[in-house]
Amino acid sequence: MDKEKKFVQEITARDEDFAKWYTDVVKVAKLCEYSNVKGCLNYLPNGYAIWENIQKNLDERFKKTGVENVYLPVLIPESLLQKEKDHIKGFAPEVAWVTQGGEEKLEERFCIRPTSETLFCDIWQKIVKSYRDLPKVWNQWNSVLRWEKTTRPFLRSREFLWQEGHTLHATSEEAEERTKQMFQVYYDFVTQDLAIPLICGKKTESEKFAGAKDTYTIEAMMHDGKALQSGTSHFFGNNFPDAFGIKYLNKENKLCSAYETSWGMSTRIIGAIIMVHGDDSGLVLPPKIAPTQVMVIPIAQNKSGVLEKANAIVMKLKEENIRVKIDEREKSPGFKFSEQESLGIPLRIEIGPKDIEKNQVIITRRDTREKIIISIDKLTTEIPKIMKQIQNDMYNRAKEFLDTHIYTAHNLEEMKKISQNQIGFIKTMWCGNKECEQKIKSEIEGFSSRCIPINSTEKITDHCIYCEQKAKHIVIWGKSY
Amino acid sequence: MDKEKKFVQEITARDEDFAKWYTDVVKVAKLCEYSNVKGCLNYLPNGYAIWENIQKNLDERFKKTGVENVYLPVLIPESLLQKEKDHIKGFAPEVAWVTQGGEEKLEERFCIRPTSETLFCDIWQKIVKSYRDLPKVWNQWNSVLRWEKTTRPFLRSREFLWQEGHTLHATSEEAEERTKQMFQVYYDFVTQDLAIPLICGKKTESEKFAGAKDTYTIEAMMHDGKALQSGTSHFFGNNFPDAFGIKYLNKENKLCSAYETSWGMSTRIIGAIIMVHGDDSGLVLPPKIAPTQVMVIPIAQNKSGVLEKANAIVMKLKEENIRVKIDEREKSPGFKFSEQESLGIPLRIEIGPKDIEKNQVIITRRDTREKIIISIDKLTTEIPKIMKQIQNDMYNRAKEFLDTHIYTAHNLEEMKKISQNQIGFIKTMWCGNKECEQKIKSEIEGFSSRCIPINSTEKITDHCIYCEQKAKHIVIWGKSY
């Protein structure tokens, strides 16, 4: 028990200092380490394995909607980045510039891609000639670089991993439909696979992506009540395609504009998993995304027959495609329990001489610590059921937290009070005027508009909380990561 | 037929101009396109899908041997690159330098990684303390950048995709064993999944990787007789670990040196697939790696019942995990045949009204153009068999080509003659002396030593073909890509 205690003590209590708790969890679970390049991460095996599962599940969902994967260059010539003026304005201050290649000083600088809209438009301009070449529904899994000043593991780093999907369509309607479709893919993936409930909607004019006409966002609430933008889907209209000279011949042989979308989800989402589900003992991973779903820990493993039986269970579970490991190290069970907990492994199986006598094992759920005694013969049918239950319970707990931490404010005074006394999001009415949004933002410290919810059944009956004119939208406000 | 002809004519005959044939195949099969950054490629869906299958198959093989995936930064500080002196000498002339981040001029330059030995050693130096932390068996799938002067699609480009595995071990023996193990993984993957026969062995001192003690290589012979280095596995001894100050405490609490390996395979291998298997009609893909294994082409598709039946076949094959597509476009069957051939799709299924009457389809093998008539009821059992046969036949044909294009030279004169009159590799005896190797290289134009074969049963009885001293090794020479 002493060793167990010591292991857990490395993690600051979550409600004592949330920021320090977060850093401790990342460190103890060995997810990543800072590198020698300020703000750039080394993704260690435990952290990268989570990302691999995210990639696998999300990529399957993409491909079902007809997405094709590609890979475009890491470098963008300065002249290319400058072709769409809102875009360059948005990104120029935060890119890294390559000025020398081998022994030669370059005539034109290249930046390391901060995002690849310009590269996609560049290749489309070369290969799209007719309506037969459309749509293009492309995606790439890559890393991008933005020269951020302050950085935090997964949440904000200079280099991060993501996928960026880019599509080109013959009509504005088709492009808008694709924007919403990918937004729905993100929603389904995050709620179903990561067990994270979401608020979703459109960004206001001032919070949109540089160069986009519409930006759809999914926003998750962390355990400290702050918002984490977890995925975005942008409709560009023909801004980029026109700036890049992309035109196609329609069936009537007429030259037409094309319409573009882009959509991305990054390793930030790992930060959301940590901050939505984690607890004082460390990470809690949803079974669908956990690299190891079950850890078998033999008790009194030197007693004859224990390791054999434990390994037989491992084999049996592997055959059912359950991601299972066994911890046979010469350490105390307490140490192993504690480590398995900090790593967020959804289920632990204890098996010792007494269990073997009774043909049973003791299963412990990571999320609730509930212990379940199960006959060894029923393991392969029961474990998938328990994992399904964990996945649902994790979602429901987080959903209750989200629902009970959204407050409605009817005027600025109320909003101020809530923001000072509660953690969570604040819902208000808004006239749609940019100035009002700015004023609210500056008066309610730390808050910004997260989104205008869509598919909301709520009626707009009230007045803008700032100017008191007739309201046009409901807005969700929050502090953001 | 006219359209079909036109499509094929875009490809230069392979024996007429091999280099042009290669470029034509890459273009017609839409595998990649050059970007606006000189020497950097856009990997298009058809090309990237091949790489995704390579990744999937190879990654599975890695993980079976205990490899864990990670991701380390894209940037390397100049001071870090300089820590191992052979390494910096090898790479400094061909890296791209970042000198500005956002608005600030950097105090220290960063290069975009040309390879990541230094980054792996840097993180290990921080986290490896004791024998319990070893071994580290890590790999990453990423892109690297080398400022090459001349570039060719897949074969040589400034940015390319690859995997780089890096491992750290407590003993020299264990590291050497891992070097050979990964070399074997490459051998199995390339021969079994890509149907490419190989010559394999050690590189000579002068051809080794910058900083390595031993470099193992697999070398494939292209259809023009040239060699393509297809994968390498390096044993570093403690060169890098010592230079980076990596030490670990052994069981007796003594500070010890650690031992390192690295191993890589890149998108060059796609070039090998093209140049080993391709023909005058375009790409020929081995079934195990083909993104689409079967293309169903309906004949007289406007006749009632044809598309229904064709789609029913597609569904049936999909259920058996066969990667199948249907071409329902309003184009002539001839055009479709020709396109499917240029893409290298291993099998085509034709189905028209007459076939439906007879409850059969016509299958055509891409590699031999053999036509096989099969009952629709037997499709799901026969197609996997035929694909297996294709995979074997492709390997055997390439193996015969390789075996009949390796010539033995007993003296320099003979070697010269062979090099002028034949395409292929030349086998000679060698004393092991660096100077002799250099002299042979300079006298036999375009040739360099590919490797000293291992597992060869051939006895070394002859003399070095240059100095005529007693031979120590057999060497395989070739022109290389």
Domain holding B422: CATH number?
3.30.110.30
A433 forms beta bridges with: none
Cβ atoms A52, B68 nearer than 8 A = no
**Could you tell me if A384 and A416 lie in one domain?**
no
Structure tokens at A76: 């963008």
- The answer to whether residues B16 and B150 belong to one domain is yes
**Do the Cβ atoms of A93 and B103 come within 8 Å?**
yes
CA distances from A297 to A28, A41, A327, A332, A362 (A): 20, 32, 6, 10, 10
Residues of chain A positioned with their CB less than 8 A from the CB of B43: 70-72
Q: What are phi and psi of A40, to 5 degrees?
A: -105, 135
In a domain, B400, yes or no: no
Most B CBs within 10 Å, among A42, A78, A94, to test the B interface: A42
| Angle at the Cα of A150 from the Cα atoms of A148 and A151, rounded to 5 degrees | 85
Residue B284: inside a domain: no
- Cβ–Cβ gap A96/B102 under 8 Å: yes
Residues A214/A94, Cβ–Cβ less than 8 Å: no
* Cross-chain Cβ contact A101/B102 below 8 Å: no
How many domains does chain B divide into?
A: 3
- Structure-token pair, residue A408: 């409605």
Are the Cβ atoms of A68 and B77 closer than 8 angstroms?
no
> Both A308 and A427 in a single domain?
no
* A355 and A246 inside one domain: no
Kindly state the tokens that stand for A353: 């001489």
Q: What CATH number does the domain containing B38 carry?
A: 3.30.930.10
Is pLDDT above 60 for B29? yes
Asked if the model's pLDDT at residue A3 lies above 80, the reply is: no
Confidence bin at A210 (pLDDT 50/70/90): confident
Q: What is the predicted pLDDT for the residue at A15?
A: 94
| Angle between the N-to-C axes of helices B434-443 and B412-421, in degrees from 0 to 180, rounded to the nearest 10 | 40
Chain A residues within 8 A of B69 when measuring between CB atoms: 45, 48-49, 52
Is A73 in Cβ contact with B35 (below 8 Å)?
yes
- For chain A, say whether B48 makes contact (Cβ under 8 Å): yes
**Given a cut of 70, is residue A124 above it in pLDDT?**
yes
Q: How confident is the model at residue A2 (pLDDT cuts 50, 70, 90)?
A: very low
Question: What is d(CA A73, CA A81) in angstroms, rounded to the nearest whole number?
Answer: 13
The CATH number of residue B310's host domain is 3.40.50.800
- CB-based contacts of A239-242 (< 8 A; 24+ apart in sequence): A239/A84, A239/A86, A239/A211, A239/A212, A239/A213, A240/A84, A240/A87, A240/A117, A240/A118, A240/A121, A240/A211, A241/A121, A241/A124, A241/A168
Distance CA B167, CA B259 (A): 8
Is the CB of residue B11 less than 8 Å from the CB of residue B282?
yes
Interface mutation vs chain A, best among B64, B91, B100, most A CBs within 10 Å: B100
CB contact under 8 A, B45 and A76: no
Residue at a domain's end among B387, B415, B434: B387
**Tokens 């869509």 belong to which residue?**
A454
* Residues A314, A326 contacting (CB under 8 angstroms): yes
Q: List the structure tokens of A10.
A: 């490395």
Residue A283 lies in a domain: no
CB-CB under 8 Å, A37 with B75? yes
Structure tokens at A56: 């696998």
Question: Which residues in chain B are contacts of A80 at CB distance < 8 A?
Answer: 36
Average pLDDT, chain B: 94
Residues 193-212 of A with CB under 8 A from B: none
Domain of A214, in residue numbers: 12-277
Average pLDDT for chain A:
94
Q: Is A160 in contact with A183 (CB distance < 8 Å)? A: no
Q: Is the pLDDT of residue A104 over 80?
A: yes
* pLDDT score, position A201: 96
Does residue A135 have a cis bond before it (omega within 30 degrees)? yes
- Tell me the pTM: 0.95
What distance in Å separates residue A125's CA from the closest CA in chain B?
A: 11
pLDDT digit string, tens, across residues B170-196 = 999 999 999 999 999 999 999 999 999
> In the predicted model, is pLDDT for residue A60 greater than 80?
yes
pLDDT of residue A456 exceeding 80, the answer is no
| Measured CA angle at B60 (ends B58, B66), to 5 deg | 110
B119 and A42: CB-CB below 8 Å? yes
What residues form DSSP beta bridges with A335? none
Q: What are phi and psi for residue A156, nearest 5 degrees?
A: -155, 110
Per-residue tokens: B139: 């790999």
Nearest CA in chain A to B90: A102
Asked if residue B272 and residue B302 are part of one domain, the reply reads no
Residue A397 within any structural domain of the chain: no
Residues B64 and B193 in one domain: yes
The mean pLDDT value for B49-59 works out to 98
What is the pLDDT at residue B8? 52
- Tell me the residue length of chain B: 481
Of residues A338, A322, A362, the one with CA closest to residue A283: A338
CB-nearest to B94 from A43, A99, A102 is A102
Do A103 and A156 lie in one domain? The reply is: yes
Amino acid identity for residue B35 in this structure: S
Q: Are strands B136-145 and B68-69 parallel, antiparallel or unpaired?
A: parallel
Whether A344 contacts A314, CB under 8 Å: no
The whole-number pLDDT of residue B462 equals 83
On whether any CB of chain B is under 8 Å from the CB of A122, the answer is yes
Give me the mean pLDDT over the A181-210 stretch.
Answer: 96
- Residue B360, min C-alpha distance to chain A (Å): 30
State which of A222, A243, A277 marks the end of a domain: A277
Q: Do B98 and A77 touch (CB under 8 A)?
A: no
B-facing residues of A in 81-110 (CB < 8 A) are 93-104, 109-110
Average confidence (pLDDT) over B436-440: 96
* Phi, psi dihedral angles at A200 (to 5 degrees): -135, 150
Residue window 5-34, chain B: list those with CB within 8 Å of chain A. 33
Q: How many whole angstroms separate alpha carbon A42 and alpha carbon B116?
A: 12
List the single residue in A with minimal CA-CA distance to B94.
A102
pLDDT in tens, A323-380: 999 999 999 999 999 999 999 999 999 999 999 999 999 999 999 999 999 999 999 9
B162 touches A at CB < 8 Å? no
Q: What is the mean pLDDT of residues A403-426?
A: 96
Q: Which residue of B has its CA nearest to A161?
A: B71
What tens digit of pLDDT does each residue of B268-313 get? 999 999 999 999 999 999 999 999 999 999 999 999 999 999 999 9
**Residue B140: C-alpha distances to residues A44, A470, B59, B262 (Å):** 10, 56, 10, 11
> What is the least distance, in Å, from the CA of B475 to any CA of chain A?
33
Euclidean distance between CA atoms B28 and A99, whole angstroms: 35
The answer to whether position A2 is within a domain reads no
- What's the mean pLDDT in A226-251? 96
Asked if B70 reaches chain A (Cβ–Cβ under 8 Å), the answer is yes
Domain boundary among B221, B243, B277: B277
Tell me: pLDDT of A455 over 60. yes
Confidence at residue A86, expressed as pLDDT on a 0 to 100 scale:
80
Contact B70 A103 (CB under 8 A): no
Whether residue A315 is contained in a domain is answered as yes
Domain shared by B376 and B412, yes or no: no
pLDDT at position A8 over 70: no
In chain A, whose CA is at the least distance from the CA of B95? Answer: A102
Distance (Å, whole) CA B138 – CA A1: 33
Interface confidence (ipTM) of the complex: 0.95
From chain B, the residues in CB contact with A154 under 8 A are: none
Q: Both A86 and A233 in a single domain?
A: yes
| pLDDT band (50, 70, 90) for residue A9 | low
Those residues whose C-beta lies under 8 Å from the C-beta of residue B330, and which sit 6 or more positions away, are: none
pLDDT band at B9 (very low <50, low <70, confident <90, very high): low
* CA A21 to chain CA mean position, Å: 19
| Structure confidence by residue, pLDDT tens digits, A70-82 | 999 999 999 999 8
Measured between CA atoms, how close is B106 to chain A, in angstroms?
10
* pLDDT score at A7: 53
Q: How confident is the model at residue A4 (pLDDT cuts 50, 70, 90)?
A: very low
Instruction: Give the Cα separation of A140 and B175 in Å (integer).
Output: 35
A171 and A201, same domain (yes or no) = yes
Give the pLDDT mean for A394-416. 97
Task: Answer yes or no: do A140 and A261 share one domain.
Answer: yes
| Residues of A in Cβ contact (< 8 Å) with B104 | 147
Residue A429: per-residue pLDDT: 95
Q: Choosing among A27, A28, A50, A100, which should be mutated to test the B contact, i.e. which has the most B CBs within 10 A?
A: A100
Distances in whole angstroms, Cα of residue B180 to Cα of each of A75, A463, B177, B237: 35, 73, 5, 14
Q: Where does the pLDDT of residue B2 fall: very low under 50, low under 70, confident under 90, or very high at 90 and above?
A: very low
What beta strand segments (E) does A352-480 contain? 360-365, 371-375, 406-408, 425-430, 447-453, 473-479
Q: How far apart are CA B99 and CA B110, in angstroms?
A: 7
DSSP string, B33-47: EE-SSTT-EEE-HHH
Go through A39-77 and write b for each residue having 16 or more CB atoms within 10 A of its CB, e for each that does not: bbbbbbbbbbbbbbbbeebbbebbeeeebbbbbbbbbbb
Structural domain contains residue A3? no
Q: Tell whether B444 lies on the interface with A, counting CB pairs under 8 A.
A: no
Q: With respect to residue B2, please indicate whether it lies within any of the assigned structural domains.
A: no
Mark whether A251 and A134 lie in a shared domain.
yes
User: Cα dihedral angle (B275, B278, B284, B289), rounded to 10 degrees?
Assistant: 0
Contact: B73, A159; criterion CB under 8 Å: yes
Q: Do B35 and A93 touch (CB under 8 A)?
A: no
- Mean pLDDT across the stretch A54-68? 98
Q: Please indicate whether, in this complex, the C-beta atoms of A145 and B74 are within 8 angstroms of each other.
A: yes
Please tell me the predicted confidence (pLDDT) of residue B3: 45
Among all residues of chain A, which has the CA nearest to that of B51? A70
Binary contact (B98, A112; C-beta < 8 A): yes
Q: Would you say residue B6 has pLDDT above 80? A: no
Question: Looking at CA atoms only, how far is residue B69 from chain A in angstroms?
Answer: 6
The reported pLDDT for the residue numbered A374 is 97
Q: Are A313 and A351 in contact (CB under 8 A)?
A: yes
Q: What is the percent of chain B where pLDDT is above 90?
A: 90
Q: Is the pLDDT of residue B319 over 90?
A: yes
pLDDT band at A10 (very low <50, low <70, confident <90, very high): confident
- Structure tokens given for B283: 């790409």
Q: Residue B4: its pLDDT value, please?
A: 45
